[in-house]
Amino acid sequence: MNDTILRWAGNKNKIAHEIFQKTGIKPEQFNNFYEPFCGALGATLNLLNNGYLQNKQVYLNDKNAEIINLYSNLRTNLRNILNEYALFNNSEADYYTIRNEDKLPSFGSRTPYYKNARTIYLNSLCFNGLYRVNPKNQFNVPYGDPKSKKNIHDITKLQNIQNFAQTIQPFNFSAIDYVSFIQQAKPGDLIYCDPPYVPLDNKDSFDGYLGKFDMNEQCKLRNLLLQKYHEGCHVIISNSYCQRSIDLYQQDFNITDIDVRRSISAKAAGRIMQKEIIAYKLH
Ligand SMILES: C[S@@+](CC[C@H](N)C(=O)[O-])C[C@H]1O[C@@H](n2cnc3c(N)ncnc32)[C@H](O)[C@@H]1O
Protein backbone atom coordinates (compact mmCIF):
# COMPACT_ATOMS: atom_id res chain seq x y z
CA MET A 1 0.00 0.00 0.00
CA ASN A 2 1.42 3.37 -1.00
CA ASP A 3 0.91 6.05 1.60
CA THR A 4 1.46 9.79 1.91
CA ILE A 5 4.33 11.21 3.97
CA LEU A 6 2.73 14.58 4.79
CA ARG A 7 -0.27 15.41 6.95
CA TRP A 8 -2.45 17.73 4.87
CA ALA A 9 -5.79 19.45 5.35
CA GLY A 10 -8.43 17.89 3.11
CA ASN A 11 -6.22 14.91 2.25
CA LYS A 12 -8.17 12.31 0.22
CA ASN A 13 -5.99 9.29 1.05
CA LYS A 14 -8.93 7.18 2.21
CA ILE A 15 -11.70 8.16 -0.16
CA ALA A 16 -10.52 9.17 -3.63
CA HIS A 17 -11.43 5.74 -5.06
CA GLU A 18 -14.93 6.01 -3.58
CA ILE A 19 -15.28 9.41 -5.24
CA PHE A 20 -14.32 7.83 -8.56
CA GLN A 21 -16.69 4.89 -8.00
CA LYS A 22 -19.55 7.33 -7.40
CA THR A 23 -18.95 8.95 -10.79
CA GLY A 24 -18.80 5.56 -12.52
CA ILE A 25 -15.48 6.34 -14.28
CA LYS A 26 -13.38 3.29 -15.20
CA PRO A 27 -9.58 3.31 -15.66
CA GLU A 28 -9.89 2.20 -19.30
CA GLN A 29 -12.08 5.24 -20.05
CA PHE A 30 -9.31 7.86 -19.86
CA ASN A 31 -5.74 8.43 -21.07
CA ASN A 32 -3.54 10.61 -18.86
CA PHE A 33 -4.33 11.83 -15.36
CA TYR A 34 -4.08 15.50 -14.32
CA GLU A 35 -4.37 16.71 -10.74
CA PRO A 36 -3.92 20.51 -10.40
CA PHE A 37 -4.22 20.65 -6.58
CA CYS A 38 -2.27 17.52 -5.59
CA GLY A 39 -1.31 18.55 -2.01
CA ALA A 40 0.03 15.58 -0.03
CA LEU A 41 -0.77 13.17 -2.93
CA GLY A 42 -3.44 11.56 -0.76
CA ALA A 43 -5.89 11.29 -3.65
CA THR A 44 -3.20 10.25 -6.16
CA LEU A 45 -1.83 7.40 -4.07
CA ASN A 46 -5.28 6.17 -3.13
CA LEU A 47 -6.21 6.07 -6.83
CA LEU A 48 -2.94 4.30 -7.62
CA ASN A 49 -3.60 1.71 -4.88
CA ASN A 50 -7.04 1.08 -6.32
CA GLY A 51 -5.92 0.47 -9.89
CA TYR A 52 -7.00 3.76 -11.49
CA LEU A 53 -3.57 4.99 -12.58
CA GLN A 54 -1.74 1.91 -13.88
CA ASN A 55 0.02 2.50 -17.22
CA LYS A 56 -0.96 6.16 -17.31
CA GLN A 57 1.07 9.32 -17.42
CA VAL A 58 0.38 11.10 -14.12
CA TYR A 59 0.72 14.91 -14.06
CA LEU A 60 0.66 16.46 -10.60
CA ASN A 61 0.68 20.12 -9.68
CA ASP A 62 0.39 22.32 -6.62
CA LYS A 63 1.09 26.01 -6.22
CA ASN A 64 2.96 25.17 -3.02
CA ALA A 65 6.51 25.00 -4.42
CA GLU A 66 7.92 23.79 -1.10
CA ILE A 67 6.15 20.43 -1.26
CA ILE A 68 6.65 20.01 -5.01
CA ASN A 69 10.37 20.64 -4.47
CA LEU A 70 10.36 18.01 -1.76
CA TYR A 71 8.75 15.43 -4.06
CA SER A 72 11.15 16.19 -6.92
CA ASN A 73 14.23 15.93 -4.72
CA LEU A 74 13.05 12.77 -2.96
CA ARG A 75 13.18 11.04 -6.32
CA THR A 76 16.81 11.90 -6.95
CA ASN A 77 18.37 12.68 -3.57
CA LEU A 78 16.59 10.56 -1.00
CA ARG A 79 19.78 9.70 0.92
CA ASN A 80 20.83 13.36 1.33
CA ILE A 81 17.38 14.28 2.62
CA LEU A 82 17.28 11.37 5.09
CA ASN A 83 20.78 12.26 6.36
CA GLU A 84 19.60 15.78 7.15
CA TYR A 85 16.36 14.52 8.67
CA ALA A 86 18.29 12.18 11.01
CA LEU A 87 19.74 15.24 12.80
CA PHE A 88 16.37 16.62 13.93
CA ASN A 89 14.80 15.96 17.36
CA ASN A 90 11.28 16.12 18.66
CA SER A 91 11.15 18.81 21.30
CA GLU A 92 9.13 21.99 21.44
CA ALA A 93 12.29 24.11 21.71
CA ASP A 94 13.90 22.43 18.68
CA TYR A 95 10.68 22.79 16.71
CA TYR A 96 10.61 26.57 17.19
CA THR A 97 14.33 26.95 16.46
CA ILE A 98 13.97 25.05 13.20
CA ARG A 99 10.66 26.67 12.31
CA ASN A 100 12.05 30.18 12.81
CA GLU A 101 15.16 29.61 10.71
CA ASP A 102 13.37 30.95 7.63
CA LYS A 103 13.44 34.39 9.29
CA LEU A 104 17.27 34.38 9.27
CA PRO A 105 19.42 35.52 6.33
CA SER A 106 21.52 32.34 6.73
CA PHE A 107 18.52 30.21 5.73
CA GLY A 108 19.16 31.17 2.11
CA SER A 109 22.46 29.28 2.12
CA ARG A 110 21.00 26.04 3.51
CA THR A 111 21.08 23.15 1.01
CA PRO A 112 17.87 22.14 -0.77
CA TYR A 113 18.05 18.76 1.04
CA TYR A 114 18.16 20.44 4.43
CA LYS A 115 15.10 22.50 3.47
CA ASN A 116 13.30 19.36 2.23
CA ALA A 117 14.07 17.50 5.49
CA ARG A 118 12.87 20.53 7.43
CA THR A 119 9.56 20.46 5.53
CA ILE A 120 8.99 16.82 6.56
CA TYR A 121 10.02 17.61 10.15
CA LEU A 122 7.77 20.65 10.57
CA ASN A 123 4.84 18.88 8.95
CA SER A 124 5.24 15.91 11.35
CA LEU A 125 5.18 18.04 14.46
CA CYS A 126 3.11 21.12 13.67
CA PHE A 127 -0.46 21.65 14.87
CA ASN A 128 -2.83 19.35 12.95
CA GLY A 129 -0.53 19.13 9.92
CA LEU A 130 -1.53 22.62 8.85
CA TYR A 131 0.44 24.54 6.25
CA ARG A 132 0.32 28.27 6.79
CA VAL A 133 2.82 31.00 6.00
CA ASN A 134 2.83 34.71 6.80
CA PRO A 135 2.97 37.41 4.10
CA LYS A 136 6.78 37.04 4.05
CA ASN A 137 6.33 33.35 3.20
CA GLN A 138 7.61 32.28 6.65
CA PHE A 139 6.05 29.14 8.12
CA ASN A 140 4.05 30.11 11.22
CA VAL A 141 2.13 27.06 12.48
CA PRO A 142 2.66 26.35 16.22
CA TYR A 143 4.06 23.13 17.68
CA GLY A 144 1.37 20.44 17.65
CA ASP A 145 1.13 18.68 20.94
CA PRO A 146 3.52 19.68 23.72
CA LYS A 147 2.77 16.39 25.52
CA SER A 148 3.49 14.24 22.49
CA LYS A 149 6.46 11.89 22.63
CA LYS A 150 6.13 11.11 18.93
CA ASN A 151 9.22 9.35 17.61
CA ILE A 152 10.01 11.14 14.37
CA HIS A 153 12.70 8.54 13.60
CA ASP A 154 10.35 5.59 13.93
CA ILE A 155 11.39 2.89 11.45
CA THR A 156 7.93 2.80 9.83
CA LYS A 157 8.11 6.54 9.16
CA LEU A 158 11.51 6.15 7.48
CA GLN A 159 10.33 3.17 5.44
CA ASN A 160 7.28 5.13 4.44
CA ILE A 161 9.48 7.98 3.14
CA GLN A 162 11.60 5.47 1.19
CA ASN A 163 8.55 3.76 -0.33
CA PHE A 164 7.02 7.11 -1.19
CA ALA A 165 10.22 8.22 -2.97
CA GLN A 166 10.10 5.01 -5.02
CA THR A 167 6.38 5.22 -5.85
CA ILE A 168 6.50 8.80 -7.14
CA GLN A 169 9.45 8.13 -9.51
CA PRO A 170 7.31 8.08 -12.68
CA PHE A 171 5.12 11.07 -11.83
CA ASN A 172 5.49 14.46 -13.53
CA PHE A 173 5.49 17.39 -11.09
CA SER A 174 4.98 21.13 -11.46
CA ALA A 175 4.34 24.07 -9.14
CA ILE A 176 2.36 26.52 -11.25
CA ASP A 177 -1.06 28.11 -11.00
CA TYR A 178 -3.87 25.64 -11.75
CA VAL A 179 -5.03 27.57 -14.84
CA SER A 180 -1.88 27.02 -16.92
CA PHE A 181 -1.62 23.45 -15.65
CA ILE A 182 -5.18 22.45 -16.60
CA GLN A 183 -4.71 24.00 -20.05
CA GLN A 184 -2.13 21.27 -20.79
CA ALA A 185 -4.67 18.40 -20.58
CA LYS A 186 -5.61 16.84 -23.93
CA PRO A 187 -8.87 15.27 -25.17
CA GLY A 188 -9.34 11.88 -23.49
CA ASP A 189 -7.44 12.90 -20.34
CA LEU A 190 -9.00 13.01 -16.89
CA ILE A 191 -8.70 16.10 -14.67
CA TYR A 192 -9.45 15.54 -10.99
CA CYS A 193 -9.68 18.74 -8.90
CA ASP A 194 -9.57 18.94 -5.12
CA PRO A 195 -9.19 22.72 -4.70
CA PRO A 196 -9.34 24.78 -1.51
CA TYR A 197 -12.99 24.42 -0.53
CA VAL A 198 -15.82 26.93 -0.54
CA PRO A 199 -16.05 27.79 3.20
CA LEU A 200 -19.17 26.55 4.98
CA ASP A 201 -19.49 29.70 7.02
CA ASN A 202 -20.36 32.02 4.11
CA LYS A 203 -17.11 33.94 4.32
CA ASP A 204 -15.86 35.43 1.10
CA SER A 205 -12.52 33.77 0.76
CA PHE A 206 -10.46 30.88 1.94
CA ASP A 207 -7.17 31.81 3.49
CA GLY A 208 -5.68 28.58 4.79
CA TYR A 209 -3.30 27.90 1.90
CA LEU A 210 -0.92 30.07 -0.05
CA GLY A 211 -2.87 32.97 -1.49
CA LYS A 212 -6.62 33.34 -1.56
CA PHE A 213 -9.10 31.12 -3.32
CA ASP A 214 -12.30 33.13 -3.24
CA MET A 215 -15.62 32.71 -5.08
CA ASN A 216 -14.25 34.43 -8.19
CA GLU A 217 -11.52 31.81 -8.28
CA GLN A 218 -14.08 29.01 -7.75
CA CYS A 219 -16.11 30.34 -10.73
CA LYS A 220 -12.97 30.65 -12.85
CA LEU A 221 -12.10 27.03 -12.09
CA ARG A 222 -15.64 25.84 -12.91
CA ASN A 223 -15.62 27.71 -16.25
CA LEU A 224 -12.22 26.36 -17.18
CA LEU A 225 -13.31 22.79 -16.40
CA LEU A 226 -16.40 23.21 -18.52
CA GLN A 227 -14.22 24.47 -21.38
CA LYS A 228 -11.89 21.45 -20.99
CA TYR A 229 -14.91 19.10 -20.99
CA HIS A 230 -16.01 20.61 -24.31
CA GLU A 231 -12.47 20.03 -25.63
CA GLY A 232 -12.87 16.30 -24.79
CA CYS A 233 -11.48 15.93 -21.24
CA HIS A 234 -13.27 14.10 -18.43
CA VAL A 235 -13.56 16.21 -15.25
CA ILE A 236 -14.25 15.37 -11.61
CA ILE A 237 -14.27 17.98 -8.82
CA SER A 238 -14.57 17.73 -5.03
CA ASN A 239 -15.84 20.60 -2.92
CA SER A 240 -17.60 21.33 0.36
CA TYR A 241 -21.28 20.45 0.70
CA CYS A 242 -23.01 23.82 0.80
CA GLN A 243 -25.43 25.85 -1.27
CA ARG A 244 -22.70 27.95 -2.88
CA SER A 245 -20.86 24.84 -4.15
CA ILE A 246 -24.08 23.30 -5.40
CA ASP A 247 -25.00 26.57 -7.16
CA LEU A 248 -21.60 26.57 -8.83
CA TYR A 249 -21.96 23.17 -10.43
CA GLN A 250 -25.59 22.11 -10.62
CA GLN A 251 -26.42 23.72 -13.93
CA ASP A 252 -23.71 22.16 -16.09
CA PHE A 253 -22.38 19.15 -14.15
CA ASN A 254 -23.70 15.96 -12.58
CA ILE A 255 -23.61 16.21 -8.80
CA THR A 256 -23.48 13.57 -6.12
CA ASP A 257 -22.13 13.55 -2.56
CA ILE A 258 -20.01 11.50 -0.21
CA ASP A 259 -19.64 11.21 3.57
CA VAL A 260 -16.08 11.89 4.71
CA ARG A 261 -14.58 11.29 8.13
CA ARG A 262 -12.60 14.39 9.15
CA SER A 263 -10.42 15.17 12.18
CA ILE A 264 -11.35 18.26 14.08
CA SER A 265 -8.60 17.77 16.63
CA ALA A 266 -5.49 15.66 16.97
CA LYS A 267 -7.40 13.11 19.05
CA ALA A 268 -9.41 10.24 17.54
CA ALA A 269 -12.42 11.38 19.57
CA GLY A 270 -12.38 14.62 17.61
CA ARG A 271 -13.60 13.09 14.35
CA ILE A 272 -16.83 13.94 12.61
CA MET A 273 -18.61 12.86 9.45
CA GLN A 274 -18.92 15.60 6.87
CA LYS A 275 -20.59 15.61 3.47
CA GLU A 276 -18.70 16.76 0.41
CA ILE A 277 -19.98 17.24 -3.11
CA ILE A 278 -18.63 15.55 -6.19
CA ALA A 279 -19.33 17.34 -9.46
CA TYR A 280 -18.42 15.50 -12.66
CA LYS A 281 -18.81 15.45 -16.40
CA LEU A 282 -17.56 12.44 -18.35
CA HIS A 283 -17.68 11.51 -22.03
C1 LIG B 1 -7.54 20.29 -0.46
S2 LIG B 1 -5.83 20.47 -0.81
C3 LIG B 1 -5.54 19.07 -1.88
C4 LIG B 1 -5.34 17.77 -1.11
C5 LIG B 1 -4.96 16.59 -1.99
N6 LIG B 1 -6.02 16.24 -2.91
C7 LIG B 1 -4.62 15.35 -1.16
O8 LIG B 1 -5.38 14.37 -1.17
O9 LIG B 1 -3.57 15.36 -0.52
C10 LIG B 1 -5.79 21.86 -1.93
C11 LIG B 1 -4.41 22.21 -2.50
O12 LIG B 1 -4.57 23.28 -3.44
C13 LIG B 1 -3.33 24.01 -3.48
N14 LIG B 1 -3.59 25.31 -4.14
C15 LIG B 1 -4.19 26.42 -3.61
N16 LIG B 1 -4.31 27.38 -4.55
C17 LIG B 1 -3.78 26.89 -5.70
C18 LIG B 1 -3.61 27.41 -7.02
N19 LIG B 1 -4.02 28.64 -7.35
N20 LIG B 1 -3.04 26.61 -7.98
C21 LIG B 1 -2.61 25.37 -7.65
N22 LIG B 1 -2.72 24.83 -6.40
C23 LIG B 1 -3.30 25.56 -5.44
C24 LIG B 1 -2.92 24.09 -2.03
O25 LIG B 1 -1.52 24.31 -1.89
C26 LIG B 1 -3.38 22.70 -1.49
O27 LIG B 1 -2.32 21.78 -1.45
pLDDT tens for 206-233 read: 444 456 799 999 999 999 999 999 999 9
Q: Cβ neighbours of residue 9 under 8 Å, at least 6 residues apart? A: 128, 129, 130, 131, 208
Ligand 1 near 129 CB (within 6 A):
no
Per-chain mean pLDDT for the chain: 93
Pocket mutation for ligand 1, best pick of 61, 62, 220 (most atoms within 8 Å of C-beta)? 62
Range of lowest pLDDT (167-171, 211-215, 257-261, 265-269): 265-269
Q: With contact defined as beta carbons under 8 Å apart, do 235 and 206 qualify?
A: no
Q: What is the largest CA-CA distance in the chain?
A: 55
Cα-to-centroid distance, 46 and ligand 1 (Å): 16
Q: Provide the pLDDT for residue 177.
A: 95
Q: Is the pLDDT of residue 18 over 90?
A: yes
Q: Which fold has domain 70-167?
A: Adenine-specific Methyltransferase; domain 2 (1.10.1020)
CA atoms within 13 A of residue 249's CA, in its CB half-sphere: 26
DSSP secondary structure, the chain, as one string: ----SS--TT--TTTHHHHHHHHT--GGG-S-EEETT-TTSHHHHHHHHTTSSTTS-EEEE-S-HHHHHHHHHHHHHHHHHHHHHTT----HHHHHHHHGGGGSGGGGGS-HHHHHHHHHHHHHHBGGG---B-TTS-B-PPBS-TT----TT-HHHHHHHHHHHHHTTT-EEE-S-HHHHHHT--TT-EEEE-PSPPPTT--S---SSSS---HHHHHHHHHHHHHHHHHT-EEEEEEESSHHHHHHHTTTSEEEEEEEEEESSSSGGGEEEEEEEEEEE--
Ligand 1 near 209 CB (within 6 A):
yes
Q: Provide the pLDDT for residue 201.
A: 78
- Domain boundaries along the sequence of the chain: 16-63+176-281, 70-167
Q: Is the pLDDT of residue 265 over 60?
A: no
Q: Is the pLDDT of residue 269 over 90?
A: no
pTM for this predicted structure = 0.94
Ligand 1 near 99 CB (within 6 A):
no
CA distance 100 to 136: 12
Ligand 1 near 95 CB (within 6 A):
no
Q: Is domain 16-63+176-281 given the CATH code 3.50.50.60 in the classification?
A: no
User: Cα dist. 8→43, 129, 252 in Å?
Assistant: 11, 6, 30
β-pair type (271-281, 254-263):
antiparallel
Q: Provide the pLDDT for residue 131.
A: 92
pLDDT digits (tens, 9 = 90+) for 110-141: 999 999 999 999 999 999 889 999 989 999 99
Q: Is the pLDDT of residue 187 over 50?
A: yes
pLDDT digits (tens, 9 = 90+) for 240-259: 999 999 999 999 999 999 99
Residue 27: phi, psi to the nearest 5? -55, -35
Q: Provide the pLDDT for residue 142.
A: 96
For ligand 1, atom 19, the nearest C-alpha belongs to 177
Q: What is the edge-to-edge ordering of all strands in the sheet holding 190-193? A: 172-174, 58-61, 33-35, 190-193, 234-240, 271-281, 254-263
- Rounded average pLDDT over 65-86: 98
Ligand 1 near 177 CB (within 6 A):
yes
